[in-house]
Structure 1
């Protein structure tokens, strides 16, 4: 019996001092596996969970093929993976009373009834708040709203001078408040990120309704949104962050590229946008065309 006990203790000691093989693999091998042998987001997530070196070898955002956000309500969000033909639910904090206004770098952008935007990562439960909006954002789209009792409301008479909004708010008893369903038409239609917002150096840029301007902010740095002109002839349909720059496309298919790294610009120095020669869209396509930019890098 004594001999058996000694053998058991020796085996346990051997296991306790055995090297951590997972963290001792050559970095080149880990990188090769992460690049070429992870067939799905599930495989990538399992790979990342092994240890810190493996997690560092696979950035979180590229782990998953694009996921569809399915209509849902309540305290969860339903995501559908086209590549894996699977749907799954993820807990969603404050799920009621917010509308989606974009998804980028693995983060969802959601806007509440006072147009405050929160970025949420459904896999890490990370939350990042963006600066509050002001009247200049909807005014860029020729939409006249102002705040009354903490809520955004429509100006009762858009033919009046906008500077009379305060007087109108005091005089009017029946004013239409901006509802959740109307928020994207009044403020931000789509928000795109340059990088994950919890990593530093992230810039958020927003498409506005029927405007040649876009709004941007440096996450964690700016306390307000800044409007900047794209110099396009028609309202912006879509923006994308590609190869270190934001690119905008308007409703005619024309493209404008923002110069430089917006995250490193001095305070008060807005970026500049330059239209470039673009391909003429086919003339034989009937009906309205909604242009979208896609980063295929």
Structure 2
């Protein structure tokens, strides 16, 4: 007669979280799926903002095989591809990544921070906070497009004639790169945006 399987849900939560901090990303995600107790410990670790200490980076990429609602993830430690489902709405474009977070753009070209592992999202100020991007509303007060104005950077300032830009295309024209100072889940993160014009 075989011995009964051990009850892993009986491990103290603090020990389990310490073990989770030593795991590689794919193993950490698998561990969260073991049982309800382990899922709660994983959620506690995720909310704490503490990253696993010596984790090998994973590469994220878009692939037709994963579809529009998923990302490809390549684990360098396992040399294996994974498909990761994404929260709604699907990502159509991302401008930067750091500390396990992606800087993505929504259908109105507004930026958002997204953690693809946890699904957490943090909205950033809208594109219209930039002085050269003005909203254009239709007769019903619905945002229809943006007017972009550019100047060549010389003084005296001479602006070019503003031109219309569709909501989803504005970010592709304006945003260049985004950098994060630290993990946003700690609440002490500065986001630096490099953008047009020039």
Query: Which of the five TM-score ranges fits, normalised by the shorter chain?
Result: 0.5 to 0.7
CA distance in 1: counterparts of 2:8 and 2:31, whole angstroms: 19
The residue aligned with 1:106 is 100
CA distance in 2: counterparts of 1:102 and 1:129, whole angstroms: 15
Aligned residue among 64, 71, 74 for 2:62 = 71
Q: Deviations over 1:234-273 (max 9, x none)?
A: x9xxxxxxxxxxxxxxxxxxxxxxxxxxxxxxxxxxxxxx
CA distance in 2: counterparts of 1:77 and 1:116, whole angstroms: 20
Q: Deviations over 1:57-86 (max 9, x none)?
A: 786643753222213362222222222222
CA distance in 1: counterparts of 2:52 and 2:77, whole angstroms: 14
CA distance in 2: counterparts of 1:30 and 1:158, whole angstroms: 53
Aligned residue among 122, 126, 132 for 1:128 = 122
Answer 1 or 2: higher relative contact order, Cα 8 Å, separation at least 6: 2
Alpha carbons 1:121, 1:127 under 8 Å: kept: yes
Q: Deviations over 1:97-137 (max 9, x none)?
A: x410222332222112433112222232222222223353x
For the pair shown, which has the larger CA radius of gyration, 1 or 2?
A: 1
The residue aligned with 1:207 is 193
State the Cα distance separating 1:182 from its structure 2 match: 6.0
Aligned residue among 94, 108, 132 for 2:89 = 94
Alpha carbons 1:67, 1:79 under 8 Å: kept: yes
CA RMSD of aligned residues (A): 4.2
State the Cα distance separating 1:21 from its structure 2 match: 3.9
TM-score by length of 1: 0.44
The residue aligned with 2:140 is none
Q: Mind listing any 5+ residue stretches in structure 1 that lack a counterpart?
A: 1-14, 170-174, 212-234, 236-297
CA distance in 2: counterparts of 1:19 and 1:206, whole angstroms: 44
Q: Secondary structure at the match of 2:180?
A: strand
State the Cα distance separating 1:34 from its structure 2 match: 5.2
The residue aligned with 2:29 is 45
CA distance in 1: counterparts of 2:90 and 2:8, whole angstroms: 45
Q: Deviations over 1:4-24 (max 9, x none)?
A: xxxxxxxxxxx9xx9964128
TM-score by length of 2: 0.61
The question of 1:82 aligning with 2:93 is answered no
CA distance in 2: counterparts of 1:147 and 1:134, whole angstroms: 7
Aligned residue among 172, 192, 215 for 2:180 = 192
